[in-house]
Chain A
Amino acid sequence: MIVERLICLVWILIGGAAASMAWSMRLFGSHGPDSGLFPFVAALLLGLCGVALLLSPRHHARTIGWPPRTGVIRIGGVIVGLAVMTLALPHAGFAASGFVTMLILLRAVERAGWVQTLLLASVSVAAVMLLFGLLLGMPLPRGPWGV
């Protein structure tokens, strides 16, 4: 399968590039092994394994279960939700970014009703803040409005 072969090529490329960078770090110094030795060996092995995998189809996956179109949209929704939260977290704080992420996930990905969405988003954000922020004493990022 073409995608599997492309993955093998990625391993070969990563292995080759990492080996070349590790070589430039020096493998041996005046006192023995240097910074490059261990990553060089690992990178070399990675590249060789990539070549071996490329040449031996019996190691390839038998069937690949790609998701249907709706599945791709749902996966996309989860990734977008997480990306939005990552971008918003330092600026808007946990409460606001968490709430918006929950709205995206429940409305766009799960097609939940507005009442369910708002209720679950509020309860889960409050529960996480209570558990992590208050009970476990882990300070969560705060937004401009103090939460």
Chain B
Amino acid sequence: MDAFSGLLLGFQIILTPQNLILCLVGSVVGTLIGVLPGIGPLAALALLLPVTFTLPPVAGIVMLAAIFYGAMYGGSTTSILLNMPGEAASVVTCRDGYQMARQGRAGPALGIAAIGSFIAGTLSVLALSFFAPVLGGFALRFGPPENFALMVLGLISTLFMISGSTLKGLIMITLGFLLATIGIDVVNGQERFTFGTINLTGGIDILPLVIGLYGISEILTNVERAMSTSLVTSRIGSVFPTRADWRVSLMPILRGSGLGFLLGLIPGGGPITAAFMSYALEQRLSPHPERFGTGTIEGVAGPESANNAAVGGGMVPVLSLGIPGTPVTALLLGALVIQGIQPGPLFMVNHPDLFWGIVASMYIGNLFLLILNLPLVGLWVQLLRVPYRYLFPVVLLLSVVGTYSANKNTFDLWVMLGFGVIGWFLRKFEYDFAPFIIAFILAPLMEQSLRQALVMSRDGPMIFLHRPITAVLLAVSAVLVALIVVKPRRFIPGGGDV
């Protein structure tokens, strides 16, 4: 199916009242999550994942995807008005956005963030529409050995983009693998690491894990010290940028869109890296780099465009190869698996309605978000007046309900609490959870591919070297490992969390 007829099919699917409402709900929830500091898009996705169990696959995934890109829009509002990122990808927007707000230019800053996000989001979905089918078509040649090698490459690439130590990242990957193997082996029914406990025979569920690591541990970190915020309360004024603002912002928006999309494609790249790289690029290209950090609009336009474009880019490997590059896309992949859909190269062939429905929903969702973030920005500003001390107990209640409602099992709540405490503790020692979540979700597919590859091989592990695509993918992985060992990586602040 070519891209045009695919998009036509996608719009036919998405333009139904139920799907449109769920896309809108996802956009509103995503913006809310982005605006409110203390709860990220990953925890929000995990909380709402049980809601999607009762929905048709298209409707459920459309809502979850809308939460993801909605959070990217909403995060800028908090960065600009509070100097505190609503979600990690908006950290860099604090620098110039907050300074603009202090100079009485909060309106243009919020406006350029929303418009830039819309342009970048739309361009990246356009690129996704044409690029994903090509990549997916190529990936149809892949068998189990290629899939395994691709997942190895994806995980090693993730190590390049995480914050902190790569060795700690590797530890997180192996822990993710080990935890994913708990339960009954589906091939031969053997119990693994269950210690005779009935609660572990089904394995550890992804929901309590994600809510614990990203929701509870975040709250524990935040309540350590009473949070004080400084909301810029002066009138926001017109959110539409002036002609002069447009003149300096247009190229950063376009560059951010391209850069964000490309970085989104790379496993581990994601919105955070895209935003930081875009900021660095704009500063380097600017004739006045010294103005960055003092309230220059390019410092908002570029990164905000880049983090939204990375969402579209990040969907390419998920939808065409079944390889997630970030924990959020890994969770989206997990949602597909829960719905009984096998992700991978055959996804587009077997489920064109779902693939094109998701793509079409992203066009519609971007439009919803432009409306939600321009005329309705005042509403989100009012929400920022809610003190965190009243907010976090409600988030905790939601976490308990979200975790419990999936299996109606209190064991999941203990897992959530346990991982919350472990997560809080490990954060102190600069462990990044992104590789852990990605490895946990990829592990069953990876193990299956490894076993199938070895069963079909006459030369044991040599099959990975005899097949050209596999050999190339593993050679690239080896080069990346060598680079990690030989050349110290540049630190990317907060990299890899989303």
Contacts and interface: CB of A to CB of B under 8 A. Distances in A.
Interface in A41-66: 42-43, 45-46, 49-50, 52-53, 56, 59-61, 64-66
Interface stretch (B104-112, B276-284, B372-380, B402-410): B402-410
B397 interface: yes
Nearest to A72: B224
Given A50-B171, A56-B167, A128-B398, A35 B192 contact: yes
Task: Identify the interface centre among A32, A42, A79: most chain B CB within 10 Å of its CB.
Answer: A42
Nearest to B48: A136
Contacts of A140: 401, 405
A75 B428 contact: no
A81 B164 CA distance: 32
A39 to B, nearest CB: 4
Contact of B454 (A32, A83, A112, A124): A32
B396 A101 contact: yes
Contacts of B421: 79
Contact of A33 (B405, B424, B454): B454
Given A38-B450, A101-B397, A105-B393, A86 B417 contact: yes
A59 B417 contact: no
A35 B174 contact: no
Contacts of B389: 110, 112
B487 to A, nearest CB: 14
A61 B420 CA distance: 20
Contact of A141 (B175, B397, B408): B408
A132 to B, nearest CB: 5
A131 to B, nearest CB: 9
Interface in A96-111: 98, 101-102, 105-106, 109-110
Nearest to A38: B447
A75 B417 CA distance: 12
A137 B193 contact: no
Contacts of A67: 224-225
B224 A71 contact: yes
Contacts of B413: 82, 85-86, 89
A96 to B, nearest CB: 13
Nearest to A129: B401
Interface in B438-481: 443, 446-447, 450-451, 454-455
Nearest to A137: B54
Interface string B230-247: 000000000000000000
B54 A45 contact: no
B181 A82 contact: no
B193 A39 contact: yes
Contact of A128 (B171, B401, B447, B450): B401
A12 B393 CA distance: 37
B404 A78 contact: no
A35 B171 contact: no
B193 A21 contact: yes
Nearest to A102: B393
Interface in B398-441: 398, 400-401, 404-405, 408, 410, 413-414, 417, 420-421, 424, 426, 428-430
Nearest to B447: A38
B102 interface: no
Given A21-B193, A124-B394, A33 B451 contact: yes
Q: Chain B interface: which size bin?
A: 35 or more
Q: Chain A interface: which size bin?
A: 35 or more
A7 B224 CA distance: 22
Contacts of B165: 53, 59
A57 to B, nearest CB: 11
B414 A86 contact: yes
Nearest to A77: B223
Nearest to B223: A74
Given A42-B178, A52-B167, A75 B224 contact: yes
Contact of B51 (A18, A38, A53, A136): A136
Contacts of B397: 98, 101-102, 124-125, 128
Contacts of A118: none
Contact of A75 (B170, B223, B400, B404): B223
A139 B184 CA distance: 29
Interface string A18-48: 1001100100010111110111001101100
B174 A49 contact: yes
A110 B225 CA distance: 11
B285 interface: no
Task: Identify the interface centre among B223, B417, B426: most chain A CB within 10 Å of its CB.
Answer: B223
A64 B400 contact: no
Given A18-B193, A89-B413, A11 B171 contact: yes
A11 B426 CA distance: 12
A6 B390 CA distance: 36
B188 interface: yes
Given A35-B188, A94-B401, A45 B174 contact: yes
Task: Identify the interface centre among A75, A78, A81: most chain B CB within 10 Å of its CB.
Answer: A78
B32 interface: no
B162 to A, nearest CB: 12
Interface in B180-204: 181, 185, 187-188, 190, 192-193
27 contacts: A4-B429, A7-B426, A14-B175, A14-B178, A21-B193, A22-B192, A31-B455, A32-B454, A39-B178, A39-B193, A45-B174, A53-B167, A59-B167, A67-B225, A78-B219, A81-B393, A82-B417, A83-B417, A86-B413, A89-B404, A89-B413, A94-B401, A106-B390, A112-B390, A124-B393, A127-B394, A140-B405
